[in-house]
Structure 1
Amino acid sequence: MKHIAIIGGGITGVTSAYTLAQAGYRVTLIEKNRYAGMETSYANGGQLSASNAEVWTHPSTLVKGLKWMFTKDAPLLMNPLPTWHKLSWMAEFVAAIPRYRDNTEATTRMAIAAREHLFGWAQAEGIDFDHVRKGILHIYRDKKGFDHAGRVSTMLAAGGLERRAVTPDEMKAIEPTLAGRYYGGYFTESDSTGDIHKFTHGLSQACARKGVNFLYGCEVLRAQADGQNAQITLQTEGKTETHVFDSIVVCAGVHGRGIAAQLGDRLNIYPVKGYSITVELNDAVSQQAAPQVSLLDDETKLVTSRLGQDRFRVAGTAEFNGVDHDIRADRIRPLVQWVNQCFPGVSTRRIEPWAGLRPMLPAMMPRVGQGRRANVFYNTGHGHLGWTLSAITAHQLAGHVQQHFAKRAPSVTLGLKGVPDGSIRI
C-alpha cells in the first residue's frame, strides 16, 4: 500500500486525506497545530457559495486597490511598501485579467460539482456543522453594482448556476430582518452555509476512522522528493525526526510557497488577510433580529452566515500585508458597524474577532495536480473559496495520484468514481 504524506490540516488537507483514504492509500497528515482546521479554516464567512465564484482579476479591482490604499477601513487594503513577492504576484494578477470570464465560469462549474461530494460526506459520516440550505442573497445599494451583478450572472449561468434578480420588496420577503434601502439584489437558492471548523473537525474524525494517521504539533523543516521516494523532516517539541513516504501532497495554505520551493516548484501564493466577527446572540431579541438567510454585500465585500440559534458570523475584507496574523481594531470596527446598521436589533456587546490568511494565486484558480517531481502533488491556492471548492479539488487530486501510481504499477487499479480529469494550474 502506497504511503502518502499530506502537509497541512486545513479544509483542503483534510478533504484530500479523506478522498485518498477512500481510494485505498495509506495516508499521514502533518499539521503544526494541535487540531485540524485551526487557521484559515477556523472562522471564515461560512458560505458554500457558487454565487461568489467571480474571480477578482477584473480591472475594477486594480482601481479600488489604488483608491483605497491609504484608507485604513477600506474593504480592500494594499500595503504600499513593495516586496518582490507582492510585485511578482500583482504582475501575474494583471496578466490573468484576459481570462477573467473563463476562470469565473470554470470556478462556477467546480463549485457546483463540489456540493454533491461535500453534502454526501457530511451525511455519510454524520457531521453536524450547522448546515443551513436557505440560499444566499447578494445585496446592492445602487444601479452600478446591480448592473455589474447582472453581467456576472451571465457568466455564472454559463457555468451552470441559476440565480435570479430580486426587487427590494422581494429582498424583504426573503430576509425580513434586513434594514436599509437597496436598489435590488440577486438570490441563489442552491447555495448554503455552515461552520467550516465544525465540518473540518468532523471530517478529520472520519479520516481517523478510515485509518489516516495524524501528526499534530509538527512543523515541517524540510521536504525532499526524487520522483520515487519522499522525505519530510519534522520538529516536534524540540525533537527532529525524518519520515519517509512514497509521495507528498502540499495543502499548506500560505505556508506552501516555501515548501514548494524546497521541492523544486514555484508556487506564487500570496497571503490575503480576511477578518471575521462571530456575534454571540445571547438574548431572544438578538436571535429574532439576526438574519436566517446568508447575505453578500458587494459594496462592503462582507458575507454573513447564521450558525445555529446563538451565533451570527460576519466576514470579509481583503488585506495585502504579507504573513501578518494581527487582528487590527480598525479592520474589525467596520464589521461591527455593518451589523449595527443592517441589523440594529442585534446586540454587538459580545463578539469574537478573528483573522485568517487566504492562500491566493494570481489567477484566482487553485493549483491541483503534479509538481516537477513525479511524486509531488499540490491541492492549494483556493483563495476566498477554499471550503466551497475543497471537495471537488480533493477528488481531482485523488485522480492525479491514482494516475501516477497506475503508471508505476499498471496492474494495480484503484477506481475513483466521479473524479474529473485535468489539473488546474497557473
Structure 2
Amino acid sequence: MTHIAVIGAGITGITTAYALARRGFSVSVFDRNRYAAMETSFANGGQLSASNAEVWTRWGTIFKGLKWMLKSDAPLLVNPRPSWHKFSWMAEFMGNIPDYERNTIETARLAIAARDHLTGFAREVGFEFDCEQRGILHVYKKQSEFDHARRVNDLLSQAGLDRREVSAADVQRLEPALKTDTLGGFYTQSDFTGDIHRYARALSEGCARLGTTFHYKSDVTDIHHTSTGIRLDWTGGTGAQQQHFDGIVICAGVGSRAIAARLGDRVNIYPVKGYSITVNLDDADSQAAAPWVSLLDDEAKIVTSRLGRNRFRIAGTAEFNGYNLDIRDDRIKPLRDWCETFFPDVSTEHCVPWAGLRPMLPSMMPRVGPGTKPGVYYNTGHGHLGWTLSAATAEATADIIDTNRMKNAA
C-alpha cells in the first residue's frame, strides 16, 4: 500500500488526508498542535464563498495599502518596517496584476467545484458543522465600491457563478436584522457558511476511521529525499522518531515556505494576519437581533457568519506584519464597532478575539501539484479562501498522486 505523509492538520491538510484515505492510500498526518485545525483553521469568517473569489492583485489594492499605512485600524495594514521577504513578495504581487481577471475567474471556478466535495465529505462521514444554506449577501454604502462590484460580477459570471444585484430594499428584505442604510448589494444564493474548526475536527475523525494515523504535538525536524521516497524525522511524545514514506504533501500553511526551501522548491508564501471575534449571543434579544444571512462588507473587508443560535462570527482585515500573532485591540475594535453599527441590538459584552495567519502567494492562487523531486507534492497557499477552496484542491492533489501511483505500478 502506498504510504503518504501529510504535513499540517489545518483544513487543507485534513481534506487532503481524507481525499487520499478514501482512495485507499495509507496516510499519516503530522501537526505541532494537540488537535486538528488549531491555527488558521480555528476561527475564520466561516464563509464558503465563491462570491468572494476576486483576487487582490490590482492597483486599487496597492493604492489603498499606501493610503492606510499609518492608520492602525485600517482594513488593510502594512507594517513599514523593512523586510526582504515582504518587499520581494509585494514586488511579485504587482507582477501578477496583469493576471487579475484570469485568476479571479479561475478561483471562482475552483470555489464552485469545491462546494460539492466539501458537503459530500460531511455526508459520507456523517457530521454537522453549523452549516447555514442561506446564501451570502455583499452590501455597499459607497458608490465607488458598488461600481467595482459590478465589474467583478462580470468576471464571476464568466466562471459560472449566479450572483445577482439587489436593491437597498432587497438587502433589507433578505436580512431584516440589518440596521444601517445601504445602496444595495449582490446576493449569491448558492454560497453558504459553517464552522471550519468543527468541520476539520469531525473530518479528522472520519480520516482516523479510514485508518489514517495522526501524529499530533509533533515537530518535523528533517525531510530526507531518498531514491525510494521520503524519510521523515520528527520529535513527538515518545521522543525522536523517523519513518519512510512513498510521498509527502505539504499543507503547512505559512510554514510551507520553509519546508519547500529544504526540498529545493520555492513557494513564496507570506503570512497575512486576519482577525475575528466570536460574539456569544447569551441573551434572547441578541439572538433575535443577530443576522442569519451571511454578510460581506467589501469596503470594510469584514465578513459574518451565524454559527448556530448562540454564536455570531465577525472576521476580516488584513495585516502584513510578518509571523506576528499578537491580538491587537486596535485591530479588534473595528470588528466590534462594525457589529454595533450594523446590529446595534446585539450585545458585544462577551466577544472572543482571535488572530490567524493566512498563507498567501503573490498570485493569490494556491500551489497545487508536484514539487521538483519525485514524491513531493504541495497543497498550500490558499490565502483568504482556504475554507472555500480546500475540498477541491484536496481532490486535485489526490488525483495527481493517484495517477502517479498507477503510472509507477504499470
Q: Return the TM-score normalized by structure 2.
A: 0.99
Residue in structure 1 matched with residue 404 of structure 2 by the alignment: 404
Tell me whether 1:352 sits opposite 2:376 in the alignment: no
Tell me whether 1:121 sits opposite 2:118 in the alignment: no
Distance 2:227 2:33 in 1: 29
Is this contact kept in 2: 1:5–1:27, CA < 8 A? yes
| CA gap 1:102/1:240 in 2 versus in 1, 3 angstroms | same
Is this contact kept in 1: 2:229–2:374, CA < 8 A? no
Q: After superposition, where does 1:55-70 map in structure 2 within 5 Å? A: 55-70=55-70
1:238 CA drift (Å): 7.9
Residue in structure 1 matched with residue 343 of structure 2 by the alignment: 343
Is this contact kept in 2: 1:374–1:404, CA < 8 A? no
**1:2-42: CA deviation from partner (whole Å, max 9, x where unpaired):** 11000000000000000100111100000110000000000
Residue in structure 1 matched with residue 368 of structure 2 by the alignment: 368
Residue in structure 1 matched with residue 194 of structure 2 by the alignment: 194
Tell me whether 1:290 sits opposite 2:279 in the alignment: no
Q: After superposition, where does 1:218-229 map in structure 2 within 5 Å? A: 218-226=218-226, 228-229=228-229
Residue in structure 2 matched with residue 321 of structure 1 by the alignment: 321
Distance 1:145 1:268 in 2: 30
Residue in structure 2 matched with residue 161 of structure 1 by the alignment: 161
Q: After superposition, where does 1:382-401 map in structure 2 within 5 Å? A: 382-401=382-401
Residue in structure 1 matched with residue 35 of structure 2 by the alignment: 35
Is this contact kept in 2: 1:222–1:259, CA < 8 A? no
Distance 2:278 2:323 in 1: 23
**1:258-280: CA deviation from partner (whole Å, max 9, x where unpaired):** 11111111110000000000000
Is this contact kept in 2: 1:227–1:374, CA < 8 A? no
* Stretch moving more, 81-90 or 41-50: 81-90
Q: Which amino acid is the alignment partner of residue 268 of structure 1?
A: N
Distance 2:88 2:374 in 1: 27
Is this contact kept in 1: 2:306–2:312, CA < 8 A? yes
Distance 2:321 2:143 in 1: 32
* Stretch moving more, 223-232 or 12-21: 223-232
Runs of 4+ in 1 over 4 A off after TM superposition: none
Residue in structure 1 matched with residue 270 of structure 2 by the alignment: 270
Tell me whether 1:74 sits opposite 2:84 in the alignment: no
Distance 2:403 2:10 in 1: 25
Q: Which amino acid is the alignment partner of residue 208 of structure 1?
A: A
Distance 2:292 2:212 in 1: 36
Residue in structure 2 matched with residue 415 of structure 1 by the alignment: none
1:407 CA drift (Å): 2.2
**1:368-396: CA deviation from partner (whole Å, max 9, x where unpaired):** 00001010000000000001100110010
Q: Structure 2: which 5+ residue stretches go unaligned?
A: none
Q: Structure 1: which 5+ residue stretches go unaligned?
A: 411-426
Percent identity (aligned): 57
Distance 2:238 2:276 in 1: 33
Secondary structure of the residue aligned to 2:214 is: strand
Distance 1:409 1:70 in 2: 58
Q: Which amino acid is the alignment partner of residue 212 of structure 1?
A: T
Tell me whether 1:110 sits opposite 2:114 in the alignment: no
CA RMSD in angstroms comes to 0.9
Residue in structure 2 matched with residue 418 of structure 1 by the alignment: none
| CA gap 1:74/1:227 in 2 versus in 1, 3 angstroms | farther
**1:40-92: CA deviation from partner (whole Å, max 9, x where unpaired):** 00000000000000000011000011001111000000011121111111111
**1:297-355: CA deviation from partner (whole Å, max 9, x where unpaired):** 00100000000000000000000011111111110010000001100000000000000
Tell me whether 1:20 sits opposite 2:20 in the alignment: yes
Secondary structure of the residue aligned to 1:241 is: strand
1:227 CA drift (Å): 5.8
Is this contact kept in 1: 2:215–2:236, CA < 8 A? no
Distance 1:99 1:219 in 2: 37
Is this contact kept in 2: 1:233–1:240, CA < 8 A? yes
Q: Which amino acid is the alignment partner of residue 224 of structure 1?
A: H
Is this contact kept in 2: 1:48–1:193, CA < 8 A? yes
1:228 CA drift (Å): 2.9
